[in-house]
Amino acid sequence: MVSQITSQIASFLQLGGPVVMVIAGLSVIALALILVKVFEFLFCRVGSPKRARAVVQLWRLGRPLDARRHMSGPKSAAEKSVATTLQLVESRVAKPVIEERISVQVAGDLHQFSKGVRALEAIAQIAPLIGLFGTVLGMIEAFQALQSAGSNVDPSALAGGIWIALMTTAAGLAVAMPVSLVVTWLEGRLENERVAIETLTSALLMQNVPTAEDVSPAFAEQPIAYAH
């Protein structure tokens, strides 16, 4: 069974030529990126801010000890931003300083999580174009053969050349469609993460946070250490 599948794949690649081989290589790269990013998003809870939301709720209910305990070992960008905000608020850091430090931290975290998504998006866009390019080349060859044959045209040979040419477009679309769906899912998760960060940190900063005049510069420069 395995040898039969392998032989079918080999014959498919041979018929499609270099263009199909390039698309096959892109599909392997896309599959590897998809597995890495899906595992990363699920493991780090990207786009699933339930834990961070529970921490904010505990804090607003006046249970800071439970909030800190629940926030130990943050993984997602939302969890890290909430943990950082809590530490800065407890250290009596001014609200503008908190917002600036959270903005810098969130930009770095979201950039880290978005790595690989752009590559998948590029593969989803370029795979159909490569397939179409292969089809155009195949059609040119088919009509060149038709011209060379003159009056001795074999319709079956022409049809065979055309369906082989169209195969590259089908291969490109077969790669692009599932990759596009995965990219949409990943980008949706990242957008959920951005919205969660904005809403949850704003909810924490609505509490009584000191102004810049009430805080000494030493507090504003303290490094953030996450609990594990």
Supply the DSSP string of 11-57, one letter for each residue: HHHHHHHHHHHHHHHHHHHHHHHHHHHHHHHHHTTTT-THHHHHHHH
Q: Any idea of the CA torsion for 70, 198, 221, 73, to the nearest 10 degrees? A: 20
Q: Note whether 77 and 110 are within 8 A (CB).
A: yes
Q: pLDDT per residue over 8-66, tens digit each? A: 556 655 666 788 889 999 999 999 999 999 999 999 999 988 999 998 888 888 888 88
Query: Taking the model in full, what pTM does it have?
Result: 0.78
Confidence label for 180 from pLDDT (cuts 50, 70 and 90): very high
Q: pLDDT per residue over 60-78, tens digit each? A: 888 888 888 888 888 999 9
Question: How many Cα neighbours within 13 Å face the side chain of 107?
Answer: 6
- Minimal CA–CA distance to 166: which of 135, 137, 126, 129? 135
